[in-house]
Amino acid sequence: MNIDFDLEQVGERTVAIIDQENLRSNAGAVALESFIVAIDPTMKPPAARAFRQKLERQFGLPVKFLLVTHYHADHVFGVAPFKDTCVVGSTELAASILKRKDTEWSPKALERWKQNNPDEDTGWLDEVEIIIPTLSFEGRLEIRDGDQFVELYHGGGHTSCSTYAYVPHEKVLFAGDLMFAESFPYAGDPTCDPDRWMDAFRKMLSLDFEKLVPGHGPVVGKDEIEKHLAFFEALRDATKEAIRADEGSEAIRIPEFYGSNDEKSPWIKVTLQHWYTFYKDAEA
């Protein structure tokens, strides 16, 4: 597999890798005074191993912590090369991983994945190990190193276990999949809570940062959160309008947004169905 990628400089001591095609998800890290905090490992263990090596070579420091932002495979499957570090996630993340460890992510399930995709490079699946977080938290956790620190927040939203990381002294925020920058977000996970997601956006906007590293898409600024929040609020209102009219999810008038008129996108249909059920149940 092609694991040739560069670290993108985001702040003085903050980096990210942005590569959708090969790595399947973004990742990032900040070097504190004596150790590195990594945020997500990418999906594939060979790429995650190269990511860690590049980090430690560039900064001359060890990776001591890895934050896994949520339970989706493109953020969990690459953890193995970091398993000797302190793997951090929300309490909900640990529960979500345990729920799937022996079922949809079992060795037999991964072997079926390979068999069902014979034309793809799936050899990396042999290196996948499902790792349970070493350190779980709820609400907020601070990782401090001297005068520098990283703030971790469990906000939920995209999934019930979704977290994000804020580096005050670098003015950088790592949003995980709470942000699909410059694209239509995947908001159809069974545990997705649109209201908590919007609350997470509002909390992010209250923080003092200049650059945001998303789970998918390019590095952006605060204005991208404002765009997504406005879209989410409009989609919520449109969903409730369809419910009050006793119409189905297909009647939801989608606000104009990135790719919102792409009828081929499976994300849009799943998102609308989930939001319709979520708000219908809430008003029942």
Q: What is the pLDDT of residues 110-162, one digit of tens each?
A: 999 889 888 788 889 999 999 999 999 999 999 999 999 999 999 999 999 99
Mean pLDDT for the chain overall: 95
- Note the pLDDT of residue 1: 58
In a domain, 97, yes or no: yes
Query: What's the pLDDT score for residue 23?
Result: 81
Give a yes or no: residue 211 inside a domain.
yes
Residue 189 has pLDDT above 90, yes or no: yes
- Structural domain includes residue 238: no
Residue 178 is assigned to a structural domain of this protein: yes
**The pLDDT of residue 20 is above 80:** no
Q: For residue 150, give the H/E element and its range.
A: strand 148-154
Q: Is 245 within a domain?
A: no
Q: Is the pLDDT of residue 3 over 90?
A: no
Q: List the CATH number of the domain containing 59.
A: 3.60.15.10
Rounded to an integer, the average pLDDT of 30-42 is 98
Under DSSP, the state recorded for 22 is H
Question: H helices of 14-71, where?
Answer: 20-23, 45-59
Give 202-211 pLDDT, tens digit per residue: 999 999 999 9
Write out the two tokens for 230. Answer: 């406005």
Let me know if residue 131 belongs to a domain: yes
pLDDT at position 14: 98
Confidence band for 2, pLDDT divided at 50, 70 and 90: low
pLDDT score, position 4: 78
Q: How many domains does the chain have?
A: 1
pLDDT digits (tens, 9 = 90+) for 37-47: 999 999 999 99
In a domain, 266, yes or no: no
- Percentage of the chain beyond pLDDT 90 is 88
CA dihedral 175, 177, 179, 184 (to 10 degrees): 170
pLDDT of 185 > 90? The answer is yes
pLDDT at 66 over 90: yes
Residue 249 lies in a domain: no
d(CA 99, CA 204) in angstroms, rounded, equals 29
Structural domain for 128, as ranges: 8-222
